[in-house]
Copies of this chain bind each other. A is one copy, B any other.
Amino acid sequence: MQQDHENDLPAYKRIQNVILKRMESGGLRAGDAIDSERQLAKVHQVSLMTARHALAGLEREGVVVRRRGAGTFVAPPKIHFNKLMSFTEQMAVRNLPARSKILSCTVTEEESEVAARLALPPGSRLIRLERLREGAGEPFALETCYLSEAEFPRLRHAPLERGSLFSILESEYGLELAQSDEEIDATNADARTAQLLAIGKGQPLLRIRQVIYSAKGRATVYVRGFYRSDRHNLLIRRFR
């Protein structure tokens, strides 16, 4: 007997899922003890190394803390540092209602610099989507994102007003987003941006230019955003 039985997941992942589900459902709270390796091995009918593998994976992801001699415990609620999240998700964390107004959605062939950042030849046809982001009824940010039209042909006619772009990419195109590299600086609002964001001209803005990569390492989306610095705060964690 070996490997999976009921479905095609490896045993260690099944164990992880059981634990994760118990945490989501509230059965396990921060600080609570998780079943020990030996208990898990017995309950799930696997060897000790497999139970260990499951817990080690959860520890690497930060959802669990292991203390020798003591046990394995649910990690304290993690603040989402350096997490790539859609605007919708960011607002959800803050418990704010999110809305997006689509200002334009066109195809351009003349943004060669953006094309280069997406590793596409100059002159490539790019979907250019400009959106005004609102949280709690207040304008929050002005975001322009670019994607290859060849790669996402139907996207222009998708219900972009409703769901987030991230979720459409993930569900409709099976795209798995993995990471983003971002370039951050400060600028002053020009007249149009100021008007859209309902602030005075010359007010300071955070400018974030990000290249979002898929799990396969492909540069997939380019986003340039201007964020009201009185409404938005970037939180970053760095390591030595």
Contacts and interface: CB of A to CB of B under 8 A. Distances in A.
Interface string A170-205: 000000011111111111100000000000001111
Interface residues of A, number: 33
B206 A205 contact: no
B182 A235 contact: yes
A12 to B, nearest CB: 13
A232 interface: yes
Nearest to A203: B188
Interface of A: 49, 60, 81-84, 177-188, 202-206, 229, 232-240
B182 A237 contact: yes
A51 to B, nearest CB: 14
9 contacts: A178-B239, A179-B238, A179-B240, A182-B235, A183-B234, A184-B235, A185-B229, A188-B204, A202-B202
Contact of A82 (B202, B204, B235, B236): B236
- A-B pairs with the 3 shortest C-beta distances? A186-B186, A186-B204, A184-B234
A132 to B, nearest CB: 18
A46 to B, nearest CB: 15
B238 A83 contact: yes
A53 to B, nearest CB: 10
B202 A240 contact: no
